[in-house]
Structure 1
């Protein structure tokens, strides 16, 4: 099938009969179709208009900023408290909006690090290839909690309330649950198939790369300037 527009390399590879069906168009060739409008400059025009629109937006934002600063300066000189208050309210609203965006991004990152990743790790240890079956159940039993200024993975009880259980104890609970016996690796053997680690602190993220996850979470908080 012939293409409407091709480059020189593709044109040179055509037979003489096929070449006769093309005509030069800019740096390439296009099918010579009678009555087809010339759109060779359309892309350039679109790019030009987009550039003008971007420049206009930048110019407008700069003008708005200059006008706001001029109004603030005028209000200071004239002692217009109301104008100054309105200006600062606008700045505060903009700052709060930006801060909310950072908080939402941070919470999403922490949830991925300390809930999703931990649940995936435990589900894989317990069920192997059947991890997707266990994943939603384990995830519903985990939450992010701040202890001594540091985010950790908190294990929840069956009612969704914070508990003192460790992640490894949660693993043992699932391993001993007859409902999941069909997907638990080595369910007839003792333990949780490698998920047990008595040294894990209560409610913490240890045992399943928890230390690394907490470190990554703390690093995110540090980079975003949230204490």
Structure 2
């Protein structure tokens, strides 16, 4: 990515909290019926047999959910610690280490992809290159589901669950994200906003579904 120092900080931070993150959040989808419905719809629409990528997969619980719907799921993450948690917990998922701006995948490899709360760690100038890279690894008409926190603020964490970290969480305007997706060659299908559920950070969230034109 453009600023490797920032990405090194993200990698180190998630390596540091990987075990705690996996323990606390491995079952988070149980309390998120809307997320489960969107993931199920994406898995149903993806071409049969085509792998589905979980970009910024963390410890792999979303990829495992997709695999539970019969998908061949591939989790991609910057953090080796997160990937180790995923491989230990979800042997049915393939995991690869990689960056959103240089995905470890062939052109047109995936039938669909999800990027849930992962673009929030990108600098503003990295969003369009990341969407171009997602476009590259998707098949024609391949689906991309993106979620993020809505707004314009940046929240910084120096400590997370008792661990020292160095993380920025960037909130994003919905219109900006949709415009960049279209600029990268995607056609928008759906955008949805929701309030937080009690067990998660109290932010409003957006989901955008698009397909590769």
Query: Does TM-score exceed 0.5, indicating one fold?
Result: no
With the length of structure 2 as denominator, give the TM-score of the two structures.
0.20
Per chain length, whose mean CA-contact separation is higher, i.e. which structure has more relative contact order (CA < 8 Å, sep 6+)? 2
The structure richer in helix per residue is 1
Q: Which has a greater percent of strand?
A: 2
TM-score (ref. length: structure 1): 0.19
